[in-house]
Amino acid sequence: MKLSGADRRIWAVTMAAGAAMVLCFVGRSTTMNVLDKLPYEPPALAAAEEGRVNINTAGLEELMSLPGIGPVKAQAILDEREANGPYRYAEDLVRVKGIGEGTFFSIQDKITTGGTGDAQDIGG
């Protein structure tokens, strides 16, 4: 059976795609083992978060050190965290009653969720 030019091109592309998939799986199984042994250091994460208030671990006094956060809002942050679990992203702070976008924007550079610690371990 003789294939037309278009059929040959389709066959060639299909074979090339299949070969590429095989190479990806073979390469992945050997490459991943090598990469697993490399030490992981987050790029400047610790330096960027130094001096910030961790909204997942901070107590009342530490939260009150943030501009615009008094005892009522600090307690609301604690209550929301207790009721619904840790904050995954800093932006989640707006889910707290009394904290709107204005308050969030004024403190966003002063807060953290703890990076790969508390907040990132929740399912999803």
- Between residues 92 and 1, which one has the greater pLDDT? 92
pLDDT in tens, 82-97: 999 999 999 999 999 9
Residue 115, classified by CB atoms within 10 Å of its CB into exposed (0-12), middle (13-18) or buried (19+), is middle
pLDDT of 111 > 70? The answer is yes
pLDDT for 27 = 58
pLDDT in tens, 21-80: 776 666 555 555 555 555 544 444 554 557 899 999 999 999 999 999 999 999 999 999
Q: What is the CATH number of domain 45-121?
A: 1.10.150.320
